[in-house]
Amino acid sequence: MALHFTDLDAALEHLLARLPPALRVAAPLALGKPHRLLNALYARIEGEPSRPLHLYTALSLDPPSPGAGLQARFLRPFLARHFGEDFPRLAYVQAMKRDALPAHVEVEEFYLQSGALLGSSQTQRRYASLNYTHVADALAQRRLDMIVQKVAREPGGDRLSFSCNNDLTQDTVDAHLARGLPRPLLVAEVDPQLPWLGGSALAPEAFFDVVIDPPGPHPRLFGLPRQPVGDADYAIGLYASTLVRDGGTLQIGIGALADALCHALVLRHADNARYRQLLGALDPELESHPTVRESGGLEPFEIGLYGCSEMINEGFKRLVETGVIRRKVVDDAALMRRLADGTANLGDHARLERDGEYLHGAFYLGSPDFYAWLRDLPGGQRHAIGMRRICEVNQIYGNDEGLERLQRHDARFFNSCMMATALGAAVSDALEDGRVVSGVGGQYNFVAMGHALPRARSVLMFRALREANGRTESNVRWNYGHATIPRHLRDVYVDEYGIADLRHASDEDCVVAMAGITDARWQQGLLDTARAARKLRAGFTAPPRWRRNTPQRLREALAPFRADGTLPDYPLGSDFTPVEQRIVRALAWLQSNTATPVAKLRIVLQALVRAPACSDDEALQRMELHAPAGAAARLEARLLRLALARTPG
């Protein structure tokens, strides 16, 4: 029977009295962290060297800092509105960012908020590179004393739900017991803001040793601000959408590329004629691409897709709403076999409709609108979403493999990477010097599943170009000092210039396929390097169509569809007001045009000498620059007016 508390301090006193002096504590990734409990624990331990603390977790989310100048003028009011004035930033994260954790406190994460902790020595030293499916056993190896977990309580009832994070807690308990270790102390903090999900997410109160119902006011859930989707992102999403087979299985990651892919899948289903016009403008030969013909399609989804992804996000919301995600599965291998064989009877179909689920995930994360959608789901839709353990979602081995193979037929695993090599390796989580940007997470799991399941494909999406220190660089490299996915697991790569199918390909064929989706400015250098390495025949010449691989040609192809709203800046909705969306475009223009000292000087001179008149009084008011006081504010006002004039719309 769980012990109940409503006072955090009283709960903490009870826990510390039961726990050993040296604490080994784990917390779920992302939304599932009980921020207030963790902050209270850190505040108590921080000044007590006699009580060492080892915290094991991942994806410790922290709102961005406002910064300075124009960025601060934009972000400060937005952050206050979006996260709320009382959002509890994690104290240990603030210390990690300053390398200020006390010597007796260590935080070990297996996945980092992207790019947020590149400069933290303490974080980089204690990072653990783990596949998501290996984390539970790794935690058992560390012999945890306690697991803390945020949970939801059933509206009007007493049942608890793992809700946002069904991923690791139960697996970690089982891993401890399998090693003959005592079960860690299990602590639940109830958050009334957390959407209730039943079914496989149910967590009986008796599962926990302590349940805390802290009093209000309850801070808002961490909402991911939805980012604008650019031309390159849309092109990648459109190409990727042609690789999905109707009636199949879908896994997607997070970010602008995933948003673009989901929007393209919705277009394919809901406005197929316009979708095909878009593809024709992007690549007139796409419909006849061998990989599209063999593994994908362009038709609407008559059967629909089954979603099985470690994270449920904004894109899945839209796919469910538009009927793209609707193919149901049940945990009954015999019934799934009859469905596959075409021998299912009316009773089987009735059971599938009644009990089936069309979306499985291990955790969820998104915007406030996304959480509201989950909160307000009708009963039938809520029943069709199943939150599962990570061992069930991210792999087929060790569970009911036969059942999962039947459920996940024609699977497409879409994930993002930063760079790819001409021979097929992917760089997704770290830099050449070893510093970690994010983490491996489940990417390796899904790439491996793409090879383990029949008719499945792993698709890694990336932007062909990157801006670094005022220079444009190609993300197709000959080689790189770090790889996340080894080249022997190469499959399909997609960037804004097309599809490169590398599965089972020779090295020379990989080079040609990857050069074919490389920006035109870097193709020749890549081919020359391949020849020097004896990976490309001497007589090879690039086809003329490769010369189309330029940002300008891409911009021109998509311009009519951007102008008429087919490809909006925010396909899944926006957390910014219309005025703020205009400012975001203006600030992005400023950032890209001031990347070097020379470029910055040129823009400042333009703003000072001939800044155009700006009629966007709303934007100036929003940035508090309608009546600038002081030289710095007057310069910022001129820069903003220049940027707004250069980015109309």
What tens digit of pLDDT does each residue of 189-241 get?
A: 999 999 999 999 999 999 999 999 999 889 999 999 999 999 999 999 999 99
Query: What are the boundaries of each domain within the chain?
Result: 3-212, 231-417+435-461+489-505, 578-646
CB atoms within 10 A of CB 171: 21
What is the spatial order of strands in the sheet that 306-312 belongs to? 385-387, 359-364, 306-312, 249-252, 411-416, 457-461, 492-495, 498-501
How far apart are alpha carbons 624 and 637 in whole angstroms? 9
> Does residue 649 register a pLDDT over 70?
no
CA 408, distance to chain mean position in Å, is 21
DSSP structure class, residue 641: H
pTM score? 0.96
Confidence (pLDDT) at 380: 85
CB atoms within 10 A of CB 595: 15
Confidence (pLDDT) at 569: 95
Residue 364, phi then psi, degrees to nearest 5: -130, 155
The full DSSP string for 53-104 is EEEEES----PPP--SHHHHHHHHHHHHHHH-TT----HHHHHHHTT---TT
How does residue 595 score in pLDDT terms, banded at 50, 70 and 90? confident
Amino acid, res. 111: Y
Fold of 231-417+435-461+489-505: Transcription Regulator spoIIAA (3.30.750)
What tens digit of pLDDT does each residue of 463-491 get?
A: 999 988 778 999 999 999 999 999 999 99
- 157 vs 21, residue with greater confidence: 21
Report the DSSP pairing between strands 306-312 and 249-252.
parallel
| Burial (CB count <10 Å: 0-12, 13-18, 19+), residue 255 | middle
Contact 324, 271 (CB under 8 A): no
What tens digit of pLDDT does each residue of 337-393 get?
A: 999 999 999 999 999 999 999 999 999 999 999 999 999 999 889 999 999 999 999
What tens digit of pLDDT does each residue of 237-295 get?
A: 999 999 999 999 999 988 899 999 999 999 999 999 999 999 999 999 999 999 999 99
For the chain, counts of helices (H) and of strands (E): 26, 22
Average pLDDT, integer, range 149-159: 92
> Does residue 536 register a pLDDT over 90?
yes
> Which residues are CB-neighbours of 277 under 8 A, at least 6 positions away?
none
How far apart are alpha carbons 302 and 632 in whole angstroms? 59
Amino acid, res. 40: A
CB atoms within 10 A of CB 287: 14
Contact 131, 444 (CB under 8 A): yes
What architecture (CATH level 2) is domain 3-212?
A: 3-Layer(aba) Sandwich (3.40)
**Is the sign of the CA dihedral 385, 388, 390, 392 positive or negative?**
negative
What tens digit of pLDDT does each residue of 605-617 get?
A: 988 887 677 778 8
Residue 187 β-bridge partners: 148, 210
